[in-house]
A and B are shown apart, each in its own frame.
Chain A
Amino acid sequence: DVKVTQSSRYLVKRTGEKVFLECVQDMDHENMFWYRQDPGLGLRLIYFSYDVKMKEKGDIPEGYSVSREKKERFSLILESASTNQTSMYLCASSPAGLEQYFGPGTRLTVT
């Protein structure tokens, strides 16, 4: 079975802190994705990566950056957390062009 893990299930941070969300997949997938999920807004793509050291902006990249130094790991970085970044963050991976497999999510609260 494909396994996608995220470093934390719940996270509480203060405004202005730098926040790292980590995602690891164990299936040697080329593609990895970061989404945020908010009530009434569905899933919105923040960033994705086709390969190591490659990244592409999604629909809502503002306030976020990403890092992919190794194929299995894709990190989402909030450079200076703000309260409007309180959300559920979901990571996914996929073989090129096919279905995505999701991690359990990280619920981030910024106070």
Chain B
Amino acid sequence: AQSVTQPDIHITVSEGASLELRCNYSYGATPYLFWYVQSPGQGLQLLLKYFSGDTLVQGIKGFEAEFKRSQSSFNLRKPSVHWSDAAEYFCAVGSNTGKLIFGQGTTLQVKP
């Protein structure tokens, strides 16, 4: 069965520090992979997606993610975090049915 695991429920980083949010998936075929961000009280916004091709994908707001098939991972990174990046981040895997399976989410707190 398809599943997504985000091992870190909560992460705190200092403003200006680098960030890596982990995501591991379980899926039989080549997955479609997504990262979404949710600010408090808001809907989810798509940060980036991977369907095929280059395994390093660039997204909005300076985020990138790398697909590693051997590790079944799709970790999200940002070289320098801003206070406005504080939010909840969701990794998701999609199939050709159109449904997405979401991870439990990682809450990012940014220290001044």
Binary per-residue interface labels of chain B (34-55) against chain A in the complex, 1 for a CB within 8 Å, 0 otherwise: 1010000111111001000000
How far apart are the CA atoms of A90 and B36 in the complex, in Å? 14
Q: Which of A40, A45, A90, A97 contacts B94 (CB 8 A)?
A: A97
Binary per-residue interface labels of chain A (85-111) against chain B in the complex, 1 for a CB within 8 Å, 0 otherwise: 000001010101111111111010000
Question: A95: nearest residue on chain B (CB-CB)?
Answer: B98
How far apart are the CA atoms of A45 and B97 in the complex, in Å? 14
Question: A43: nearest residue on chain B (CB-CB)?
Answer: B102
Q: Which of B34, B49, B98 contacts A96 (CB 8 A)?
A: B98
Q: Which of A26-59 contact B (CB under 8 A)?
A: 31, 33, 40-43, 45, 48, 50, 58
Question: B34: nearest residue on chain A (CB-CB)?
Answer: A99
Q: Assess whether A105 is in contact with B41, with CB atoms less than 8 Å apart.
A: yes
Q: Which residues of B contact A43 (CB under 8 A)?
A: 44, 90, 102
Looking at A43, A48, A97, which has the most chain B CB atoms within 10 Å of its CB? A43
How many of B's residues come within 8 Å of A, CB to CB?
Answer: 21
Q: Assess whether A42 is in contact with B98, with CB atoms less than 8 Å apart.
A: no
Q: Assess whether B98 is in contact with A97, with CB atoms less than 8 Å apart.
A: yes
Q: How many contacting A-B pairs (Cβ < 8 A)?
A: 50
Q: Assess whether B98 is in contact with A102, with CB atoms less than 8 Å apart.
A: no
Q: Which of A40, A48, A104 contacts B98 (CB 8 A)?
A: A48
Judge whether B31 is part of the interface by a CB distance below 8 angstroms: no
Q: Which residues of B contact A41 (CB under 8 A)?
A: 104
CB distance from B49 to the nearest CB of A (A): 5
Interface residues of A (CB under 8 A from B): 4, 31, 33, 40-43, 45, 48, 50, 58, 90, 92, 94, 96-105, 107
Please give 7 more A-B residue pairs, beta carbons under 8 A apart, in addition to A43-B102, A104-B42: A40-B104, A41-B104, A42-B90, A42-B104, A101-B46, A102-B45, A104-B43
Can you pick out 10 interface pairs between chain A and chain B where the beta carbons lie within 8 Å of each other? A42-B90, A43-B90, A48-B99, A50-B98, A97-B97, A97-B98, A101-B46, A102-B43, A102-B45, A105-B43
